Amino acid sequence: MRVAAVLTAAGSGSRLGSDLPKALVPLAGEPVVAHAARALVAAADLTHLVVTAPPAHVVDVAAALAGLAPGGCRVDVVPGGPSRQASVAAGLAAVVASGDLAPADVVLVHDAARPLVGADAVRRVVAAAARHGAAIPGLAVTDTVKVVDDAGRVTATPDRRTLRAVQTPQGFTLDVLRRAHEAGRDRAHDEATAATDDAGLVEALGLEVRVVDGDPRAVKITTAADLALAERLLHEDAAPITTAPGGHR
Ligand code: C5P
């Protein structure tokens, strides 16, 4: 079985308060997109990595990825579209055009905005996607979540035990992801109508999507506070483990 990945990095940095696109903002001295690409490459034996970039920053994103992928992995950077869904569709078109994947091979779709995802979660997604056609990592929800109308009135309180906060990478067989994007193509031109994740397009087709355990460390970087949290998590990893007298760390 072969595995390819679409890494979405075409968003702006506006909610981060940055002039740079979010994917190019430094995290521990390296662009966010480089961390995300390395996480995927370390976890899955990718044949093809397609990265979506803001159209004005294709060259910068390609430079940020230089030397990250092993020899057997082809890397392409393509301009993203007006919504995340459109960007994934552009990346998927490059995967299809390469002709490397059979319909039952797996395509991961990962947000550069989650640079800290661990290898175990990625591997769980690949295995479940190959088996079931579509798989996504999810975490139990600790907040109570309300459904609210436009006037701010609460209309429902879903049973928290039935809810999962969903992350990326999401994984699909090539056949399932192609069909889902083809069927949802008319929604992609505008963020207001576009799907916010790829599993949503698969659900709209009536196909099964399985949830596997997500990674609590795979925080999504949206605001400056998220970036600071990701820096702290990375520094915790890098800190040397020293044993003080008495055995305390
Ligand atoms: O904006 P948000 O953080 O929800 O975006 C999720 C991911 O989708 C990010 O990695 C972002 O770079 C990517 N994206 C994209 N094309 C867009 C909008 C977002 O590739 N038009």
CATH of the domain at 93: 3.90.550.10
Residue 246 within any structural domain of the chain = no
Residue 192 within any structural domain of the chain = yes
Q: What is the DSSP letter of 216?
A: T
What confidence score (pLDDT) does residue 44 get?
93
Give the distance, in angstroms, between the CA of residue 241 and the centroid of all CA atoms in the same chain. Answer: 30
What confidence score (pLDDT) does residue 243 get?
58
Q: Where are the alpha helices (DSSP H) in 166-248?
A: 174-183, 198-204, 224-238
Residue 249 within any structural domain of the chain = no
Ligand 1 atom closest to 113 (CA):
10
Is-contact 107 172, C-beta < 8 A?
A: yes
Residue 244 within any structural domain of the chain = no
Residue 75 within any structural domain of the chain = yes
Spans of the chain, pLDDT less than 50: 247, 249
Query: 73: domain range?
Result: 3-238
Residue 74 within any structural domain of the chain = yes
Residue 224 within any structural domain of the chain = yes
What confidence score (pLDDT) does residue 247 get?
46
Distances (CA, A) of 245 to 229, 242, 248, 249: 30, 10, 7, 9
**Ligand 1 neighbours (beta carbon < 6 A):** 8-11, 22-23, 52, 80-84, 87, 111-113, 222
Best CA proximity match to 214, nearest among 189, 194, 197: 197
What confidence score (pLDDT) does residue 17 get?
81
Number of domains observed in the structure of the chain:
1
Phi, psi for 7 (deg, rounded to 5): -110, 115
Phi, psi for 246 (deg, rounded to 5): 95, -5
What confidence score (pLDDT) does residue 69 get?
82
Ligand 1 atom closest to 88 (CA):
20
* Ligand 1 pocket mutation pick from 16, 84, 191 by most atoms within 8 angstroms of CB: 84
